[in-house]
Structure 1
């Protein structure tokens, strides 16, 4: 039997309130201290995937914050140093700076040797299948957004942004079929930017899209966009196969404020292979918290492991008992998937 541990995180999307205080004396941006726990969480997996929701076109095109995001190049470099194997880059901010921004962001990812999927520099690049092989198990990665908020790629340059239009997953199905025919991976992992911002449970459109992608042959579906954690569940599809889906991994590292917007996590799954048989087991979620309330001091906008926090969270909306919040999140997830471990 072979086994691979997959780790996935939610949105990395830096507001100016974070990068403005993250420049060192040399003029470079450095987030290694602020994101320190990310290293342990990402390196714990054999394969790690991060949702990079911001462009990393860098200062050359001008750093920008809400509502259009462009982050420093160093953010991607830090994620690479933490052990990130691949980033997903299809979302409603991919086209914030138009074609120039999307291409520059990809160029910077390529410079540091970071794999990406979801936004591509050409049709040929879009057709190139992203696979990672570890411990004799091959994982294929695909990524799409069902949310553009009007930030669409030019009609003749759809490769810049893999898009699900009006919930129609025909192109996802075609891609999965092609991936399986050309590469025959053991596992197909599909990341989807979908749903509405901030609900603690998935909306109907998310469930419909996930069910369709499961039926198309996805083994694992990782959701993004709501900026808060949403539960995971197993989908039994018409093929008689089970798909693991987590509807939203929330914010991993972001400048957003609000209790549940500051809580994220790193998903962990074991993928076991016995002969030609694949089993996905041991789902767990390591909770994290971004301390956005401190006005001064070392921990301002620092990513923290949840268990390292004080007995309460203090946000701009008040104080919250950390144990009560943990219990609510754990119960919310276990109601949908009793075996999931919340750490």
Structure 2
């Protein structure tokens, strides 16, 4: 799946000419080196300026933050974890979380190769999680990461069953839970939703964010490990302009949490949080498909929303959609001074397209350890380990393959690598250091 930010001007439509002119102006003036105020991230809300800004960032990611955001995000670090003295640990649970699984042509050839170098970090946890960015389908429709030639041509993504099996696990060990509430959920309509849900069932994967019945809309998905009940709540900011009919609106948990026109809508998430509490969940995870693509820092409005959700009862926020990594915040809620809410604003991607630029090739695997109190519903995060990873594309004989590697392992091997690979590792390390505040 290849994409370009500009098309041949001899074939460009008036729409493309306007987009290209805006990009050229931004490149000359540097006006988009900082986050564009009042930008749209929902395709249904985009203007020509928003489309141009999107395509500009695809080549030139935004590495600066809105005012005061940096200070808010890094008020605390990992040293803040300290379990209450009176907590008697009854059981411990580990969670591994990663970002987007994006389709690319031929990925089925990398089955059991894709995750070989990170399988322990991903699948040895009690619960493993990621975001499936495209529906599984039997339809023969091509994939386009780049939007089309006008405001009515959103990007389109889907995966074949063989591609899904390559992306969903390693050597028959599959993700425990996959989020499927995202802006591509409805790209293939009802067939894509139901085919995806059927494949989740075949692999024993809990689908998050796409209720199978109207009664399940607004309900949480729960997973129990080591006598610890984990509740997953979810929402996506939109569906790329797709509008399910009234009788099908229950199919995807959708709410305007990243709109340029209205304040974040949290009612649907709060219904799910309340459902977790009524089911006696010990720990609540919010899966949020939100934010601004190709920007390394969240907006202030997202920080405010994340803090509100933690105060409402969420313990861990796993963000996805920006296609780049964003910081992890360690937030102490007022509701419980002993608790630390972890907010991963964006985990980036595990897979994207062949030869993706460094800012998109980089992702995070988050390892979280939970401690559950004896004879109580109190469950706390006791440790968090962020692991930067990247996708390495290579050829073996005549076959193009992709494999996820740990950045630290690759950096250690740099002395034996080519100058080209050393340059790539340096770029990846710069982005990782920026986001994890290691500069």
Provide TM-score, normalisation by structure 2: 0.67
Match of residue 384 from structure 2: 283
Provide structure 1 residue ranges, at least 5 long, that are not aligned to the other structure.
24-29, 339-343
Alignment of 1:12-23 (within 5 A): 12-16=101-105, 18-19=106-107, 22-23=108-109
The change in CA–CA distance for 1:49 and 1:319 in structure 2 (over 3 A counts) is: same
- State the secondary structure of the residue aligned to 2:125: coil
Match of residue 64 from structure 1: 142
Check conservation: 2:129, 2:176, Cα contact below 8 A.
yes
- Of 294-303 and 252-261, more deviation after overlay is shown by 294-303
Deviations 1:143-189 (A, max 9, x none): 211143313433332221101224210111121112211x1111000
Check conservation: 2:358, 2:424, Cα contact below 8 A.
no
Q: Does 1:301 align with 2:397?
A: no
Q: CA deviation at 1:291?
A: 2.0
Match of residue 273 from structure 2: 176
Match of residue 321 from structure 2: 225
Q: Determine which structure has more spread, i.e. the larger CA radius of gyration.
A: 2
- State the secondary structure of the residue aligned to 1:37: coil
Structure 2 counterpart of 1:53, from 124, 133, 144? 133
The change in CA–CA distance for 1:158 and 1:238 in structure 2 (over 3 A counts) is: farther
Match of residue 341 from structure 2: 243
**Number of equivalences:** 322
Structure 1 counterpart of 2:188, from 92, 97, 112? 97
- In 2, Cα distance between equivalents of 1:53 and 1:324: 25
Check conservation: 2:394, 2:400, Cα contact below 8 A.
no
- In 2, Cα distance between equivalents of 1:297 and 1:85: 34
Structure 2 counterpart of 1:123, from 206, 210, 214? 214
- In 2, Cα distance between equivalents of 1:273 and 1:279: 7
- In 2, Cα distance between equivalents of 1:314 and 1:123: 56
Deviations 1:71-124 (A, max 9, x none): 122344342423411110000100111222222221222233221011123213
- In 2, Cα distance between equivalents of 1:328 and 1:206: 21
The change in CA–CA distance for 1:62 and 1:125 in structure 2 (over 3 A counts) is: farther
- In 2, Cα distance between equivalents of 1:255 and 1:223: 20
- State the secondary structure of the residue aligned to 2:307: helix
- Greater strand fraction, Structure 1 or Structure 2: 1
Check conservation: 1:195, 1:205, Cα contact below 8 A.
no
Structure 1 counterpart of 2:423, from 320, 324, 330? 320
The change in CA–CA distance for 1:185 and 1:154 in structure 2 (over 3 A counts) is: same
Match of residue 432 from structure 2: 329
Q: Does 1:261 align with 2:360?
A: yes
Match of residue 241 from structure 2: 150
Q: CA deviation at 1:285?
A: 1.5
Provide TM-score, normalisation by structure 1: 0.84
The change in CA–CA distance for 1:205 and 1:98 in structure 2 (over 3 A counts) is: farther
- In 2, Cα distance between equivalents of 1:6 and 1:116: 16
- In 1, Cα distance between equivalents of 2:97 and 2:393: 23
- Of 151-160 and 288-297, more deviation after overlay is shown by 288-297
Q: CA deviation at 1:214?
A: 1.6
- In 2, Cα distance between equivalents of 1:76 and 1:198: 25
Structure 1 counterpart of 2:226, from 116, 120, 135? 135
Check conservation: 2:218, 2:268, Cα contact below 8 A.
no
The structure, 1 or 2, with the larger RCO (C-alpha pairs under 8 Å, 6+ apart) is: 2
Q: CA deviation at 1:313?
A: 8.8
